[in-house]
Amino acid sequence: MTFAAFFDDAALFPPGNAPMHRAVAEHVRRRGHSDRRYAGPFICPADDLTALIAALDGQEIELSLRGLPTGPVPDHVTLVAVEVDDVTERPDLPDHVAVFTERPWGGSYTVPPGTILKLRCGGAYVPSVDELADAITHCVHHQQRFKLTAGLHHALRSDEGHGFVNIMAAVVAAQDGKDPAPVLAASDVSAIGIDTDRLSRSRDLFLSIGTCSIDEPLADLRHLGLIS
């Protein structure tokens, strides 16, 4: 499925800044809804792990930790990923735990073996179309997996920022040996070439996005007819 587990739940982070109990309750609620198929793990700062455990009150959750764990993780919390700033080697974690390492724009997009590139598309700095195209070209050329976070609230490019469907289509364009920049810059659906079968090819490399709202991007996808 094209958008399976594509939207990592970053409700705790700006601009959403949801309180812990509300963010956890909403994440758990979604597990009982058909939209659960689109949701990835719950992202939580390592410093807030104790508060998360208290809010869960024994309920199970898949967790992506922002930072490295400083103590044991209880059995009802499944640590599936950690997100760390620029590192030179993979931290000593079980093999099943994905390690995302964030890199700045304009530098090297090569990451240590056993880790996955993470790039930030919003917040204090929004990358240009050319910067994003260069990163995509690098990832496709080197078969390097990546995730993106911040600023990707909508499926299509707009004055508010990049569109995550544009990015998926741009990855496919690069896989086909084409320049991804025009696809990233397009705001017209017909210029992007939206097709779920084609877009699904991007998921080999483009793993997920972090978003403080999962409902908002899903509404965009429904409007475009890409999900039911």
Q: pLDDT digits over 22-76, tens only?
A: 999 999 999 999 999 999 999 999 999 999 999 999 999 999 999 999 888 999 9
pLDDT by residue (tens digit) across 92-123? Answer: 999 999 999 999 999 999 999 999 999 999 99
DSSP 73-128: PPTTEEEEEEEESS-SS--S--TTSEEEEE--TTS-----TT-EEEEE-STT----
Compare 221 and 194 and report the one with higher pLDDT.
Answer: 221
Size of the chain, expressed as the number of residues it contains: 228
Residue 32's CB is within 10 A of a number of other CB atoms, namely 8
Distance CA 196, CA 65 (A): 30
